[in-house]
Structure 1
Amino acid sequence: MKKKFLGAVAMAATLALGLTACGSGSGEAATVENGDKQDLKIVVFNGWDEGVAASELWKAILDKKGYKVELEYADAAPVYSGLSTGDYDVVLDTWLPITHKEYIDKYGDKMVDLGAWNEDAKLTIAVNEDAPIDSLEDLAANADKFGNKIIGIEPGAGLTRVTTEDVIPGYGLDKMDYITSSTAGMLSELKTATTKGENIVVTLWRPHWAYDAFPVKDLKDPKGTLGEAEGIHSFSRLDFDKDYPTLDGWLKNFKMDSETLYSLENVMFNGDGSDDYAPIVEKWIGENQDYVDGLTK
């Protein structure tokens, strides 16, 4: 009798597992209280601080609401390829109409634009706030006041190409030394110069936490060599609105001005170098609770 009983229990357990497997294979998925699917995969561009900040913020918000959020980091090409095939659910860092145009042209019919949450994305040439000039038109004549140097970022960056091909010839800056190394190197030079009260010229972009951390200003670009400001958009996979109807609405209404973004980026990236962002973001949320609560109304 004991053997028969144990055999029956084993059979029932096996049957239960089989039914569970069938249920998971039938497309059924766990949901949160508002009816959205529970599991969510946000893809993040490697090295793009504004996207990391926005993604970590939304992860913190959604985790508290019962979602299970996974952040996966990748470069631009696999991001859009994966989004178009449904391997990812959403990306929060698409720059339009210029920077990511080629990917939207290629995959746009297999994705959904949820709208821009920031309209101030722009390539810049910045100087210390008390620098004696305000325009790129005046830089060549005052090059000696800046050590005859322009401090850049990575040699392969789009900003580096624009500076080399458009800004330098456009404003006659060929006699200045254009030094490229890395974003970290540029920021180190910027920090040192502003701390010492020295003049410095760097290639930069908005939004970036450096605008919150250091006393800097953008040089005017009357010839438009750096291009116009872009919007930072969220893009989802197809049918995202069916699987996440509530979150879809939240992301479509998501707005974050540059000053708010700078403050979040500054505490995340201008600290001790830790990449454990959860406690940092949690503290920032506590200091900006009204804004954060408004994101999910």
Structure 2
Amino acid sequence: MKLTTMSKVGGVLAASVLALTACGVSNEGGNSGGGGDETAAGGGSEVDWSDCTPGEESADTSSMEADSDTDITIGAFDGWDESFAAAHLYKYLLEQDGYTADVQSFQAGPGYTGLAEGDIDVILDGWLPLTHADYLEQYSEDIEAHGCWYDNAKLTLAVNEDSPAQSIADLAEMGDEYGNRIVGIEAGAGLTKTTEESAIPTYGLEDYEFIVSSTPAMLSELKKATDSGDNILVTLWRPHWAYDAFPVRDLEDPEGAMGEAELIYNFTRSGFSDDHPKAGQLLKNLVIDDEALSSLENVMFSEENYNGEDLDGAVEEWAGDNAEFFENWKSGSMAG
């Protein structure tokens, strides 16, 4: 997310997301199944963006010669935590190998435009096959894909780890366990729309009070409930640092009411592979699972850690505890 606009919750934690923009789009559960300018109704590209295995084009970079051009500009999307997490993670690895890397923030539209025009070298946060399909329809011939690195980007209903419900289908008979409440986020978020228009009617949850509030308020209630041992039902999404910060788990969604998981891709400007063969291969090697991503984001964005400030320092600290992650990345051995 944009590192300069983190919201504090009761002086205890920070929201990891920006306030909703005028068009109702942000990383506040709006990446998938949403209804804003960055959300496409379907993919127009001939490429099947749903067909990708993270790290499938991995290769060992240890014997590769260093790139002669070592200056790389990385774009990250305002309001999207995982965008800055991946960008600064890649920056850290590049700088360890003698590159000069610069992370710049953009809204998604200008980011893809800058990539297609060659003003940005790399974007590591392409959500497909749905969310960014319109951008790929427009720019796919002017950019290069370098594989996907995450395959579980989705909207969820989540509960505290030790609560009784295992599936959203259980909730209709368990209202008393959760105070007959679903704690949601902003009114304009795609997650809110999907919960209200799909999950609630699909699973017969009309007797629940759906509290439309804000991401900071939801996270505050989640922290309060898990600290006190109370049951709670919230709207959430992956990736998010809450999965590392709190004892929380997703409910199964047998009817698929919250939508399918999306993939997160790496894209570069045209010609990047020719100019930066080693850096390009490192993009193809990247794989981040839920545990690693949520722990990284927790260090970077929660108030108990770096609170969205000094993201390079946060990644350096995380790297100190996860040296094997980087060795596997360079060797191309992260793929499942």
TM class by shorter chain equals: 0.7 to 0.9
Q: Find 2:297's aligned residue among 257, 265, 283.
A: 265
CA distance in 2, matches of 1:289, 1:57: 12
CA distance in 1, matches of 2:314, 2:252: 34
Contact 2:77 2:106 in 1 (8 A): yes
Following TM superposition, the consecutive aligned residue runs of length 4 or more in structure 1 with deviations greater than 3 angstroms are none
CA distance in 2, matches of 1:258, 1:296: 20
Q: Find 2:262's aligned residue among 216, 225, 230.
A: 230
State the SS of the aligned residue for 1:296.
helix
2:197 aligned with 1:165: yes
Contact 1:36 1:245 in 2 (8 A): no
Q: Find 1:82's aligned residue among 101, 108, 114.
A: 114
- The residue aligned with 1:137 is 169
- The residue aligned with 2:50 is none
Measured after TM superposition, the shift of residue 274 of structure 1 is: 4.6
2:251 aligned with 1:219: yes
Gaps of 5+ in 2: 1-64, 332-336
Q: Deviations over 1:198-239 (max 9, x none)?
A: 111111112222111111121111111112222111111111
2:276 aligned with 1:205: no
- The residue aligned with 2:323 is 289
Contact 2:194 2:258 in 1 (8 A): yes
CA distance in 1, matches of 2:74, 2:122: 5
CA distance in 2, matches of 1:99, 1:254: 21
Gaps of 5+ in 1: 1-32
CA distance in 1, matches of 2:154, 2:68: 34
Q: Deviations over 1:154-173 (max 9, x none)?
A: 22222122112211121122
Contact 1:36 1:247 in 2 (8 A): no
CA distance in 1, matches of 2:91, 2:213: 32
* Identical columns (%): 50
Q: Deviations over 1:230-286 (max 9, x none)?
A: 211111111111221110111111111211112111111222425112222112111
TM-score of the superposition, structure 2-length normalised? 0.75
State the SS of the aligned residue for 2:123.
strand
CA distance in 1, matches of 2:187, 2:105: 22
**Alpha carbons of 1:36 and 1:260: their partners in 2 closer, same or farther (altered >3 Å)?**
farther
- The residue aligned with 1:187 is 219
Residue pairs, 1:88-99, within 5 angstroms = 88-99=120-131
Contact 2:159 2:248 in 1 (8 A): yes
- The residue aligned with 1:280 is 314
TM-score of the superposition, structure 1-length normalised? 0.84
CA distance in 1, matches of 2:68, 2:133: 30
Contact 1:36 1:246 in 2 (8 A): no
State the SS of the aligned residue for 1:119.
strand
- The residue aligned with 2:285 is 253
**Amino acid in the other structure paired with 1:99:** T
Contact 2:94 2:279 in 1 (8 A): no
Q: Deviations over 1:172-203 (max 9, x none)?
A: 22232222232222111111111011111111
CA distance in 1, matches of 2:177, 2:164: 8
CA distance in 1, matches of 2:300, 2:275: 31
2:150 aligned with 1:115: no
Larger Rg: 1
Measured after TM superposition, the shift of residue 64 of structure 1 is: 2.5
State the SS of the aligned residue for 1:139.
helix
**Larger proportion of helix:** 1
